[in-house]
Structures are given as C-alpha cells and as structure tokens.
Amino acid sequence: MSANKFNPAKLAKLNHPDRYSRENPDLIWKTLALADPRVVVDIGAGTGFFAIPFSRLMPTGTVYACDIADEMLLWMEENLPEELAERIVPVKMEERAVPLPAGIADLVLMVNLHHELEDASAILIEAFRLLKPGGKVAIVDWKDEPTESGPPLEIRVSEQSILDQFAATGFEQVRAHASLPCHHFLEAVKPQH
C-alpha cells in the first residue's frame, strides 16, 4: 500500500459524526444543484459516507461506490442500509481506471481522495469519460494549510493544481466554493459538445 493511502484498518474514522458539520453531505449536494440526477459515481467511496446520503437524496437513482481497497468494498457490502442495497453498487476499481461504461454519470464525486492518488490526471480523464455531456465532477479534499485534523500537510494538494488538472482534461465552468472550513470544494462541467 502506498504511504499516502488511507489505512483501511482505520475505516471507523470515516464514519465519525464530526464529519457531518465539517464536510456536510447535504450542503455539498445542494451546492451542486444537479438537474434530475440519475447516476452518481463516487470514486474512493470508502465506507459510503457520501454514497449513503447521496443515494437517499436521489431515490430513483444509482450510486456506484468505487474503491480500490477490498476492505472498504466488503464493509459496504456488509453494512449498507438494507433499503439502499439495490441503489448503491460497490465497484472494485484499479488505481487509474473505473470499470464502468462511458457517458453514464450525472456526477462524479471524489472526497478526500486527491491527496491519495498516484496519478490524479488519469483519474480526471476517467471522470471525464464517465460523465454525460453537461455532467459535473466535484472534488472535496483537505486544504493545503493546517487544519484541526487531516492528513500530513506535505501530501495535501493545492487548489491551483486541481484547477490545472480540470483545464488540462477539458472541463469547463469551474467553480470553487468557500463553504467548507477545512476543505477545498471544487466543481467543473463536462462540455456538451
């Protein structure tokens, strides 16, 4: 396991209730203001901290909860709320590739993932491939400044480097939201043409 990866043995930390105020899923969902979303691809889904509330907010849709760690996928399979079992689909992915068809997603979500990626550009290209034209990618990750908790400062990613990756991939309508105390929150759109 690469040194930057989240240690699956600590997965209970991902379900800590403090996260509801610090990285509020409802606020993030409302801010993204998706028009009639049907498919969300959550890359680096962990324990489904976002996949679960996003599925509840999208009662007729599907959330693909993708992760590279078998421990996370197993945890989701065993612990996802029964009523969401049909609507959240755990997916085993590789470091740079998601085994899902192109053009299916209204939203590709990545939370607290960017600083762990070996090849962020490749994952941004995957996000672009997975999105429908007009679909959004949203990246939430720890600010590269001291915060009350979070990964070591030296592995955190600057907002500018994510903005550069959006531009290099072909994303447009980039927006940076200042609503989260400890996290960058960026979104961008796959163009219609």
Ligand X SMILES: C[S@@+](CC[C@H](N)C(=O)[O-])C[C@H]1O[C@@H](n2cnc3c(N)ncnc32)[C@H](O)[C@@H]1O
Q: Given the rule CB under 6 A, which of 32-40, 46-54, 164-172, 183-191 is the region that contacts ligand X? A: 46-54
Q: Which stretch binds ligand X (CB under 6 A): 106-114, 130-138, 141-149, 158-166?
A: 106-114
With CA atoms as reference, report the closest residue to 22 among 147, 188, 144, 137.
Answer: 147
**What type of residue sits at position 13?**
K
How many CB atoms neighbour CB 24 within 10 A? 15
Tell me whether residue 39 or residue 120 sits nearer to ligand X (CB atom): 120
Q: Rounded CA gap, 112 and 180, in Å?
A: 13
Q: Pick from 32, 34, 39, 45: which binds ligand X (CB under 6 A)?
A: 45
Candidates 37, 58, 62, 116: give the one binding ligand X (CB under 6 A).
Answer: 116
Residue whose structure tokens are 């909860």: 65
Q: Whose CA is closest to 38, among 57, 20, 66? A: 57
Q: Which stretch binds ligand X (CB under 6 A): 28-36, 65-73, 158-166, 179-187?
A: 65-73
- Interface pick for ligand X out of 44, 90, 135, 150 (rule CB under 6 A): 44
CB closer to ligand X, 87 vs 115: 115
Task: Look up residue 174 and give its DSSP letter.
Answer: E
Cα→Cα distances 44→115, 148, 191, Å: 11, 22, 24
CB of 193 to ligand X, least distance (A): 29
Residues in contact with ligand X by CB under 6 A are 5-6, 14, 43-46, 49-50, 66-69, 72, 93, 95, 111-113, 116-117
